[in-house]
């Protein structure tokens, strides 16, 4: 694990959990596949019949809307007859999906609740999955909700929504019928939150206490919602996790990406392209997503568009959107973000040495500083670090971490009083070389320590950290502040940060100050912008 740059420490040396958050914060639950067989006596609400899932009542695959291709979603009425809700709905079209069940008819949500009774009035925790804006799933065992719902004493909701071209392709230049195309995926999330507002009470939820939380791209979607007028009032607290972005692409860049897709499909511009996009099988459109992105390189990257219809400003530039400053917010990252997706045995890191480090570093960062100079600074600061340690520290600080810094600092500059920041430092006991990598905070928050894809382990320390993080998130949902008494709000210039390590959880002022100042010499060119 990388050592810390110097930073001052607060007087708080440990963290205590509030005991007032419902049903206890004991050991971690063990993740198993959901039961998919409805039985007589299984829970029901609003005409949906669910099933018992690891101590909770689960309702899977509930339709919240339908949508024609590239059109805004349309809510539907509740079922007129008893409907089984015992399996996940299909995933929205994407490359390399986690399941073969793919359909454009994919606007479904899932609910886990301690008790589907209208009198319960528990807070609601709505999770948006990661995968940038281009892929992802609610079926991931890491993010299934029974343990979190039971331990946080809350209703947990996960949401499918349109992705990539289908959710964020900028097609407005092709005519009025594509007016909503650049933010259709965000409109899906808004529609899901409207469904929650109107119906979650029947499942034991309180529509006046809705928390949204998301990891990576899910956090980015939340950041965008915080600047969308149509989302105002639909959620009351928020948390973003692990390498979130602060993305809004301009229409010119969005159109360049669309033209690259046309070229890959062999389509002309104009009406012919519009008709083809509406008529082609979705599989053809998904295949074309492997076209080279004209802005970033790699495959095509689609994200929210500053369309001046639904998104009228960047959510965090030149400041934090005033609309959401009063919303309490947790912002988190992991210490070694890029170790999750730049493999140590892959071509970028294989045969890495001091002679080629600067060259290989360049394509992996999003802040345009001279890479030989960057390498020199790290070697002076940390003379004992290996070339691999410098590579992963620099790529994390110059690529995956800045979005969180931008959000936290912007809220602090704007006077937001309720912002809390964490940093997961605990390295994986399963794969120590991984450090604390991208997505590694997920099993702690969901309590899915033994789920497939978890690197947290199931030992005592993993359970303690999971208890603390669930308590923190549950506190935000219940009370509008984290359920950890010593977690101080983020202020400037101190930049108080909850550092979650192997040995203890503690408050540290500006724990990566040196790296923050180093990379703060130039603008962060965010993916998708």
Measure the CA–CA gap between 449 and 457, rounded to whole angstroms. Answer: 6
503: Cβ contacts below 8 Å, ≥ 6 apart = none
14 pLDDT above the threshold of 90: no
Identify whether 100 is preceded by a cis peptide bond (ω within 30 of 0): no
Lowest-pLDDT range of 92-96, 166-170, 199-203, 414-418: 92-96
- Helix or strand (DSSP H, E) at 113: strand 108-113
Written as one string, the DSSP assignment of 327-366 is: S-EEEEEETTGGGGTS-TTSTTTTT--TTTHHHHHGGG-S
Lowest-pLDDT range of 85-99, 155-169, 185-199: 85-99
**β partners of residue 421:** 331
**Half-sphere exposure (CA, 13 Å, Cβ side) for 113?**
27
Whether 283 is in a domain gets the answer yes
Measure the CA–CA gap between 172 and 184, rounded to whole angstroms. Answer: 12
285 pLDDT above the threshold of 80: yes
Q: How far is CA 334 from CA 194, 438, 440, 523, in A?
A: 32, 6, 7, 22
Range of the domain at 269: 251-290
Written as one string, the DSSP assignment of 251-282 is: HHHHHHHHHHHHHHHTPPSSHHHHHHHHHS-H
371-393 per-position pLDDT tens digit: 999 999 999 999 999 999 999 99
- Give the confidence band of 121 by pLDDT, cuts at 50, 70, 90: very high
- Give the confidence band of 8 by pLDDT, cuts at 50, 70, 90: very low
Whether 286 is in a domain gets the answer yes
Residues composing the chain: 529
Collapsing DSSP to helix, strand or coil, 449 comes out as coil
Number of domains in the chain: 1
| C-beta neighbour count of 220 within 10 angstroms | 29
- Give the confidence band of 76 by pLDDT, cuts at 50, 70, 90: confident
Whether 422 is in a domain gets the answer no
Measure the CA–CA gap between 74 and 467, rounded to whole angstroms. Answer: 39
- Give the confidence band of 528 by pLDDT, cuts at 50, 70, 90: low
Whether 186 is in a domain gets the answer no
Interval 497-516 mean pLDDT: 97
107 pLDDT above the threshold of 70: yes
- Give the confidence band of 39 by pLDDT, cuts at 50, 70, 90: low
Q: State how beta strands 419-424 and 329-334 pair.
A: parallel
User: Does the CA dihedral 400-406-411-412 come out positive or negative?
Assistant: positive
Cβ pair 254, 182 in contact under 8 A: yes
Which two structure tokens, joined as six digits, stand for 215? 């990891």
473 pLDDT above the threshold of 50: yes
96 pLDDT above the threshold of 80: no
Whether 261 is in a domain gets the answer yes
Please state, rounded to an integer, the average pLDDT across all residues of the chain. 90
Whether 262 is in a domain gets the answer yes
49 pLDDT above the threshold of 70: yes
Whether 271 is in a domain gets the answer yes
Cβ pair 210, 236 in contact under 8 A: yes
238 pLDDT above the threshold of 80: yes
- Give the confidence band of 280 by pLDDT, cuts at 50, 70, 90: very high
139: Cβ contacts below 8 Å, ≥ 6 apart = 88, 91, 98, 99
Measure the CA–CA gap between 359 and 429, rounded to whole angstroms. Answer: 32
Angle at alpha carbon of residue 329, lines to 327 and 330, rounded to 5°: 175
Angle at alpha carbon of residue 476, lines to 471 and 481, rounded to 5°: 100
Whether 255 is in a domain gets the answer yes
Helices first, then strands: H and E counts in the chain:
14, 14
288 pLDDT above the threshold of 80: yes
460 pLDDT above the threshold of 80: yes
26 pLDDT above the threshold of 70: no
Measure the CA–CA gap between 18 and 12, rounded to whole angstroms. Answer: 16
pLDDT number for residue 485:
87
Compute CA 194 distance to the chain's CA centroid, rounded to the nearest angstrom: 20
3-class SS letters over 120-184: CCEEEEEEECCCCCCCCCCCCHHHCCHHHHHHHCCEEEEECCCCHHHHHCCCHHHCHHHCCHHHH
298 pLDDT above the threshold of 70: yes
pLDDT number for residue 198:
98
* pLDDT above 70 coverage of the chain, percent: 91
Cβ pair 9, 508 in contact under 8 A: yes
- Give the confidence band of 33 by pLDDT, cuts at 50, 70, 90: very low
- Residue 284's nearest CA partner among 95, 66, 134, 89 is 95
Angle at alpha carbon of residue 431, lines to 427 and 436, rounded to 5°: 25
Interval 442-458 mean pLDDT: 97
- Residue 215's nearest CA partner among 89, 127, 116 is 127
**β partners of residue 63:** 108
pLDDT number for residue 16:
38
Which two structure tokens, joined as six digits, stand for 458? 């199931």
pLDDT number for residue 527:
62
Measure the CA–CA gap between 96 and 354, rounded to whole angstroms. Answer: 35
* pLDDT above 90 coverage of the chain, percent: 83
- The model's pTM is 0.91
């Amino acid at each position: 694990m990388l050592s810390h740059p110097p930073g001052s420490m607060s007087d708080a040396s440990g963290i205590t959990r509030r005991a007032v958050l419902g049903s206890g914060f004991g050991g971690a639950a063990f993740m198993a596949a959901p039961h998919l067989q409805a039985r007589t006596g299984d829970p029901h609400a609003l005409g949906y019949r669910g099933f018992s899932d690891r101590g909770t009542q689960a309702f899977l695959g509930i339709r919240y809307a339908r949508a024609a291709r590239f059109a805004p979603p349309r809510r539907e009425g509740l079922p007129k007859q008893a409907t089984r809700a015992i399996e996940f709905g299909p995933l929205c079209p994407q490359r390399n999906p986690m399941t073969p069940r793919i359909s454009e008819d994919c606007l479904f949500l899932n609910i886990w609740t301690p008790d589907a009774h209208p009198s319960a009035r528990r807070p609601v925790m709505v999770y948006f999955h990661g995968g940038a804006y281009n892929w992802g799933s609610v079926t991931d065992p890491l993010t299934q909700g029974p343990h979190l719902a039971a331990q946080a004493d809350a209703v947990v909701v996960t949401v499918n929504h349109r992705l990539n071209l289908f959710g964020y392709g900028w097609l407005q230049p092709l005519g009025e019928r594509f007016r909503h195309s650049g933010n259709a995926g965000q409109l899906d999330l808004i529609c899901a939150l409207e469904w929650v507002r109107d119906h979650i009470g029947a499942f034991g939820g309180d529509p006046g206490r809705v928390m949204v939380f998301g990891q990576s791209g899910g956090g980015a979607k939340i950041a965008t919602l915080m600047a969308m007028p149509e989302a105002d009032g639909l959620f009351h607290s928020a948390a973003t996790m692990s390498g979130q972005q602060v993305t809004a692409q301009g229409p010119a860049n969005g159109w360049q990406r669309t033209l690259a897709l046309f070229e890959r499909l062999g389509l002309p511009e104009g009406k012919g392209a519009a008709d083809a996009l509406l008529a082609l099988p979705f599989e053809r459109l998904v295949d074309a997503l492997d076209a080279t992105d004209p802005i970033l390189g790699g495959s095509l990257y689609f994200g929210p568009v500053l369309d001046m219809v639904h998104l009228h400003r960047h959510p965090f530039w030149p400041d934090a959107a005033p609309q959401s400053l009063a919303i309490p917010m947790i912002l988190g990252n992991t210490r070694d973000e890029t170790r999750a997706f730049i493999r140590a045995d892959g071509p970028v890191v294989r045969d890495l040495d001091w002679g080629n480090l600067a060259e290989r570093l360049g394509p992996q960062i999003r802040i345009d500083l001279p890479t030989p100079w960057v390498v020199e600074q790290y070697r002076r600061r940390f003379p004992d670090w290996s070339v691999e340690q410098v590579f992963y520290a620099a790529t994390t600080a110059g690529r995956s971490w800045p979005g969180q810094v931008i959000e936290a600092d912007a809220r602090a500059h704007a006077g937001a009083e309720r912002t809390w920041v964490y940093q997961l430092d605990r390295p994986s006991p399963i794969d120590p070389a991984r450090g604390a990598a991208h997505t590694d905070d997920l099993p702690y928050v969901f309590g899915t320590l033994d789920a497939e894809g978890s690197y947290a382990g199931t030992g005592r320390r993993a359970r303690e950290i999971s208890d603390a993080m669930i308590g923190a998130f549950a506190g935000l949902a219940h009370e509008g502040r984290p359920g950890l008494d010593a977690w101080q709000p983020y202020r400037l210039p101190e930049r108080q940060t909850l550092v979650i390590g192997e040995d203890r959880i503690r408050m540290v002022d500006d724990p990566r100050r040196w790296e923050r100042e180093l990379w703060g010499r130039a603008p962060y060119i965010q993916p998708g912008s």
